[in-house]
Amino acid sequence: MIAAQDTLLKEKLKEVFGYSQFRGNQEAVINTILSERNTFVIMPTGAGKSLCYQLPAIIKSGTAIVISPLIALMKNQVDQLNALGVNAQFLNSTLSQAEITKVKRDVTNGEVKLLYVAPESLTKEENIAFLQKADISFVAIDEAHCISEWGHDFRPEYRKIKTIIDNLGNLPIIALTATATPKVQTDIQKNLHMEEADLFKSSFNRQNLFYEVRPKVDTKKQLIRYIKNHKGKSGIVYCLSRKKVEEIAELLNVNDIKTLPYHAGLDASVRIANQDAFLNEDVDVIVATIAFGMGIDKPDVRFVIHYDTPKSLEGYYQETGRAGRDGLEGNCVMFYSYNDILKLDKFNKDKQVTERENAKHLLQEMAAYAESSVCRRRQLLHYFGEQLNEDCGFCDNCLRAKEKFEAQEDIMLAIQAVLQTNQRFDISHLTDVLRGYENQYVCSYNHNLLSVYGKGAGKEANYWQSVIRQILIYNFLEKDVENYGVLRITAKGMDFLENPYPVTLTKDHDFSNAMEEDEEDREGGAPATGKACDPVLFEMLKALQRKVAREKKLPPYAVFQEPSLEEMATTYPTSKEELSRVNGVGLGKVEKFGRPFIELIAKYVADNDIETATDVVIKSTANKSKSKIYIIQQIDRKVGLDDIAEAQGISMADLLKEIEHICYSGTRLNLDYYIEDMMDGDRQDEIYDYFMQADTDNIQAALNALGADDYTEEELRLIRIKFLSEVAN
Ligand code: ADP
Ligand code: ZN
């Protein structure tokens, strides 16, 4: 009989789905559910979970209920099955009453093999009554992690599923998910009363995926450079908000990368069209919010970029899972900034207490992952309850040199702390005990009396957390699945206490430079902060700036401002055109001072084999603001500044700021008509001469030097604009 069933399964697999072989655990899973046993399937995205319930549903008599949280996904699957000639239908809130009646009739007549139901619909009385009468073969619960509030996608309705199923009779259940930490897994099994279920857990390791985390600095530039280096390949860029999706999609298009946006705010027809354009390779890149593409299956996505830091490792892992489904190249880049973590945490503030706490934990795991310099794959797999005993050699942390330290003593202390507190506390409490931090919890448990208390006082909390996280990954400690956050000692940890040996750990990355960020938060045209700037080239450019200034008898800042030099040392412009795109450098400046700078950079680039910025100069999407153009036009027409300010509805100070901005971006402005009216020639000359010999164009410095009683700030600023326009632009 076994052999016969084997053959039958293979035949159906070929006949209906066109595949000649099962993948991984599929066949075993199918056999289990066919023999009416509860089945729990944990398989990474793309491994082929759907087939695990679709095939048995087709074989068994009656209708299988498939509970699935996403209506879009449901429709997609039903369409696919119908295309294969399988009668599948769905029941959800998008259907009209007439459609619902038809679906129910078809089910009652035994025509439907799979009925997809949203959990909300399942809880409706009339649907339950109808299902009780139908011939149901089994129940499949897709995305089963939604059951657990410890997961990243908790849905309260999912908690009621079990009770409803019980109302329908004694039906076998198959629960499936692509993301379950050990904690979530136990939680699901408990909730579904299927602790005894046959568990099929495939490895989550996606060997062909390359993981990389980059600081979120100059992100747009990095993004464009990255995509241009993967020219013609398909990729997905994930952003957290719809607005960001639109903005980035536009940015990429402007920079000659064929891109379309995808998010829930778009019309369904637009979404489908964009999705098709991506599948058909009319565009290379899709920029999406994370809700994207639950139903999309493009096998040759070559890169998945997280422009914003994701909310959880579960989400992150699922999304990266869309890369390289064909087993070939797949690159996963995440831009990380602790600012993003803080922002995300703020979004959670309106949630219920437990939900908020859980969301916070998930965020902390995310931050720890990003900042750690332990092999990414080891970390990810560990998070999902899988132990990798060696570094993978194929992730940024494995390939990058990192700072190591000998940690035998500190590992001893950390394990001691767990032991002495009776293996009942979480990482932050353990850290407090180690550092001798006398807070109310530590005192209430008398942990300030332990011998390990305060033994690690010389080191920061971050340090201890990093040590503890690393020895978790290296299996000296483990998480207690019953009690969230609680750490316990493994057998390996116990052995280590008795017979310690040298262990090296690695220092976490320092992402503090990604803290201030954000290009999005910065003033429109403000120059890059130069964090990614090449310090050697920068020094060379500064020397050149001073040399040119001496030759031309100008102050150095009148040649190029320092932020412009920093940007040059970041983007390596090697042509006039490229140089003119640097913030603060207009065509006038390029003509006046550009040549030696371009020559210096070109030589430097050639000598050091540097990939030039040709591809990377960002064409800004922000059209020069209308008000700027207006101001330039009005000044050309010699309109009084007070009139311009009034017409624009802004103060004089703000208008001057705008004008300075225009001037610092390299546009020459002639304000003589206004200045002449306002101050006499001597005063003008005095200020002008001051700026000519000053080290800085700082206004406060000018006020100090010239005397705040004698000159107004407005006068100084006006002359500074005149000066810069005449000598620098
Ligand atoms: P998951 O739900 O686990 O993310 P899917 O069920 O969407 O994955 O399957 C991913 C892809 O693998 C689909 O294109 C599916 O048709 C394909 N697939 C599933 N099983 C097999 C198989 N046995 N042989 C070949 N392709 C398969
Ligand atoms: Zn690695």
22 lines ligand 1 (CB under 6 A): yes
Tokens of residue 289, six digits: 């919010």
Give the per-residue pLDDT at 516.
54
11, 12, 15, 19, best to mutate for ligand 1 pocket (most atoms within 8 Å of CB):
19
Residue 711 vs residue 41, higher pLDDT:
41
Q: Whole-prediction pTM value?
A: 0.69
Tell me what pLDDT residue 165 has.
94
| Closest residue by Cα to residue 178 from 153, 155, 159 | 153
CA distance 486 to 608: 51
Give 311 Cα–ligand 1 centroid separation in angstroms.
27
Of 616, 625, 519, nearest in space to 256 by CA:
616
- Percent of the chain's residues with pLDDT above 90: 55
Question: Rounded to the nearest whole angstrom, what is the distance from the C-alpha of residue 26 to the centroid of ligand 1?
Answer: 10
**466 Cα–ligand 2 center, Å:** 17
Q: What is the pLDDT of residue 13?
A: 95
Q: Alpha helices, DSSP H only, in 457-529?
A: 461-473, 491-498, 513-516
What integer pLDDT is reported at residue 249 of this predicted model? 95
Ligand 1 atom nearest to 178, measured from its CA: 3
SS3 448: helix
Q: How many helices (H) and strands (E) does the chain have?
A: 36, 17
**6 confidence band (pLDDT: 50, 70, 90):** confident
Per-residue pLDDT of 188-242, as tens digits, reads: 999 999 999 999 998 889 999 999 999 998 899 899 989 998 989 999 999 999 9
Does the pLDDT at position 518 exceed 70? Answer: no
Is the CB of 45 inside a 6 Å radius of any atom of ligand 1? yes
Give the mean pLDDT of 518-547.
Answer: 66
Spatial contact of 263 and 242, defined as CB atoms under 8 Å apart = yes
49 lines ligand 1 (CB under 6 A): yes
Q: Please report the atom of ligand 1 found closest to the CA of residue 23.
A: 23
* pLDDT band with cut points at 50, 70 and 90 for residue 294: very low
**Does the pLDDT at position 528 exceed 70?**
no
Q: Residue 47: CB within 6 Å of ligand 1? A: yes
Q: Ligand 1 centre from 532 Cα, in Å?
A: 42
Question: How far apart are the two ends of the chain, measured CA to CA in Å?
Answer: 88
Ligand 1 within 6 A of CB of 50 = yes
Q: Tell me, what's the pLDDT at 293?
A: 53
CA 561 to CA 583: how far, in whole Å?
10
Pocket test for ligand 1, best of 17, 84, 86, 206 (most atoms within 8 A of CB): 17
Which atom of ligand 1 is closest in space to residue 21's alpha carbon?
Answer: 23
Which pLDDT does position 431 carry in this prediction? 96
Q: Is the pLDDT of residue 514 over 80?
A: no
Residue 374 reports pLDDT greater than 80: yes
Q: Nearest bound ligand to CA 144? A: 1
Q: Which atom of ligand 1 is nearest to the CA of 47?
A: 3
Q: Which amino acid is at 215?
A: P
Closest CA to 563 of 665, 663, 688: 665
What CATH number should be reported for the domain whose range is 623-728? 1.10.10.1390
Atom of ligand 1 nearest to the CA of 49: 3
Ligand closest to the CA atom of residue 81 = 1
Q: What angle do CA 214, 306, 511 make, to 5 degrees?
A: 30
3-state secondary structure of 65: strand
- Answer for the pair 75, 90: CB distance below 8 angstroms, yes or no: yes
DSSP state of 395: B
Instruction: Give the Å distance between the CA of 375 and the centre of ligand 2.
Output: 4
705 pLDDT band, cuts 50/70/90, is: confident
Q: Lowest mean pLDDT: which of 84-93, 187-196, 273-282, 511-520?
A: 511-520
Evaluate: CB of 23 within 6 angstroms of ligand 1.
yes
**What does residue 557 show for φ and ψ, rounded to 5 degrees?**
-65, -20
Which residue among 50, 55, 116, 296 has the greatest number of ligand 1 atoms within 8 angstroms of its CB, and so is best to mutate? 50
Q: Which stretch, 219-233, 651-665, 705-719, has highest mean pLDDT?
A: 219-233
Residue 667 has pLDDT above 80, yes or no: no
> Nearest-CA neighbor of 563 among 525, 601, 610?
525
Does the domain at 209-399 match CATH 2.60.120.10? Answer given as no
Token couple for 698: 């700082």
* Ligand at shortest distance from the CA of 397: 2
Ligand 1: atom nearest CA of 43 is 3
Contact 410, 456 (CB under 8 A): yes
Give the pLDDT confidence score for residue 529 in this predicted structure. Answer: 39
CA of 611 to the centre of ligand 2 (A): 26
Render pLDDT for 98-116 as a digit per residue (tens, 0 to 9): 999 999 999 999 999 999 9
Whose atoms come closest to the Cα of 210: which ligand?
Answer: 2
Residue 619: per-residue pLDDT: 60
pLDDT at 620 over 80: no
Tell me the ligand closest to 140's alpha carbon: 1
pLDDT higher than threshold 70 for residue 524: no
The domain defined by 2-201 folds into: Rossmann fold (3.40.50)
pLDDT over threshold 60, residue 623: no
**Distance from residue 480's CA to the centre of ligand 2 (Å):** 25
User: How close is the Cα of 153 to the center of ligand 1, in Å?
Assistant: 23
CA of 73 to the centre of ligand 2 (A): 33
DSSP codes, 221-290: HHHHHHHHHTTT-EEEEEESSHHHHHHHHHHHHHTT--EEEE-TTS-HHHHHHHHHHHHTTSSSEEEEET
- 521 pLDDT higher than 50: no
Q: Is 80 exceeded by the pLDDT of residue 622?
A: no
411 lines ligand 1 (CB under 6 A): no
| pLDDT (0 to 100) of residue 351 | 85
pLDDT at 71: 78
Cα–ligand 2 centroid distance for 400 (angstroms) = 10
Q: Inform me whether the pLDDT recorded for 563 exceeds 90.
A: no
The answer, yes or no, to whether residue 526 has pLDDT greater than 50, is: no
Average pLDDT over the chain, rounded to an integer: 88
Q: Which residue has the higher pLDDT, 707 or 425?
A: 425
* Nearest-ligand number for the alpha carbon of 43: 1
> Among 3.40.50.970, 1.10.357.10, 1.10.10.10, 1.10.10.60, what is the CATH number of 404-506?
1.10.10.10
Please report the pLDDT score of residue 97 as a whole number: 92
From the list 580, 564, 423, the residue with the least C-alpha distance to 497 is: 423
Q: Answer yes or no: same fold for 404-506 and 535-615.
A: no
At residue 570, the pLDDT reads: 79
Q: What distance in angstroms lies between residue 379's CA and the mean position of ligand 2's atoms?
A: 9
Distance (angstroms) between ligand 2 centre and the Cα of 397 equals: 6
Instruction: Work out the average pLDDT over 703-723.
Output: 88
Task: For the chain, give every domain's residue range.
Answer: 2-201, 209-399, 404-506, 535-615, 623-728
pLDDT of residue 363: 94
CB 259 within 8 A of CB 287: yes
Whether residue 46 has its Cβ less than 6 Å from ligand 1: yes
Q: Enter the CATH code of domain 535-615.
A: 1.10.150.80
